[in-house]
């Protein structure tokens, strides 16, 4: 029971991180493009994921990655919900325990 809950929570965390990375890559690429067009200063380095040495992201790929992370997050949330319902059923049975004996 608890491993199921832990797996669900780990999935939530992993998918949130994947969504953060995809959105940061899109934002950083957008800022880089805007800076080339307007000469505006870039954002502080602490606010974006570093892409040094990486190729600019493909917007379609990053959009697909963010959608996959969203769907994974939703699936992990369902796992947590079901584990919670199972624990609730074990702790608060709907029938009197004395009827079992």
Give residue 46's pLDDT.
46
Outline where the chain has alpha helix (H): 2-38, 59-91
Say if residues 69 and 19 touch (Cβ distance below 8 Å).
yes
pLDDT digits (tens, 9 = 90+) for 28-76: 877 766 555 555 555 544 444 555 555 677 888 999 999 999 999 999 9
Q: Report the SS3 class of residue 96.
A: coil
d(CA 34, CA 38): 6
pTM of the model: 0.67
Task: Compute how many other C-beta atoms are within 10 angstroms of the C-beta atom of residue 83.
Answer: 19
Q: Where are the domains of the chain?
A: 2-93
Give residue 29's pLDDT.
76
Q: Which residue from 77, 69, 53, 75 is spatially nearest to 20, judged by alpha carbons?
A: 69
Task: Compute how many other C-beta atoms are within 10 angstroms of the C-beta atom of residue 48.
Answer: 16
Average pLDDT, the chain: 80
């Amino acid at each position: 029971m608890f491993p199921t809950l832990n797996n669900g929570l780990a999935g939530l965390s992993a998918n949130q991180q994947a969504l953060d990375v995809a959105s940061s890559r899109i934002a950083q690429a957008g800022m880089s493009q805007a800076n080339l067009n307007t000469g505006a200063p870039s954002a502080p380095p602490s606010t974006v994921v570093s892409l040094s040495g990486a190729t600019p992201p493909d917007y379609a790929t990053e959009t697909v990655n963010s959608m996959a992370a969203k769907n994974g997050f939703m699936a992990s949330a369902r796992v947590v919900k079901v584990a919670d319902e199972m624990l609730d059923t074990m702790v608060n049975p709907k029938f009197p325990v004395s009827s079992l004996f």
